[in-house]
Amino acid sequence: MPQDQQVRVRVSYGDNEIDITGPADFVAQYQDTIDAITTQLRERTAQSPTVASAIHPAAVTISEDEFPETLHGLPKGSTDTDRMLLAGWYIQRKLGDNSFSTGEANKLLVEQGIKVSNPSQMLKNSLIARRVFKLGDRYRVSKSGEDYLRARIGR
């Protein structure tokens, strides 16, 4: 990975979250700290902790002007699950809290003339495929979900 490429590391556990974004060499200097924190979190709980740690290129964003074109430009064979995932990805980037609700994603699709018969089931499909994960009553697109969408939209 080129050293000037932007990367992001996020470690979250319950209400606690560490988020480091910057050039790869800057973020790499925190690797020992991140490893120590995740080890401590695993040791503190008998259950498998909900720790999400991702190192990947900075997120691709879709502007408000690009969203309709991106949505309608999804490849042939794309499903309502793909459309809900794309809408959720756009909303979580737009709102800044990095999450979205079923209603928000569905409303955005309806505004674009796309009627999803069962939006909740479409998100359950993405949850099963590990393309999203739950945050209380909201969702967040996972790294694998972002990778899946990038492959679908060609970015």
Note the pLDDT tens digit of each residue in 74-94: 888 889 999 999 999 999 888
Reference 125, options 85, 97, 78, 71; nearest CA is 85
Query: Residue 140's pLDDT band (boundaries 50, 70, 90)?
Result: very high
- Residue 150 pLDDT exceeds 70: yes
Q: Which two tokens stand for residue 67?
A: 């969203």
Give the neighbor-by-neighbor strand order of the sheet with 16-23: 16-23, 6-13, 54-57
Query: Measured in Å, how far apart are the chain's first and last C-alpha atoms?
Result: 17
Distance CA 39, CA 20 (A): 18
Helix count (H) and strand count (E) of the chain?
A: 7, 5
DSSP reduced 3-state for 22: strand
Share of the chain above pLDDT 70, in %: 75
pTM summary value: 0.59
Residue whose token pair is 């695993």: 42
* Amino acid of residue 127: L
Residue linked to tokens 């700290």: 33
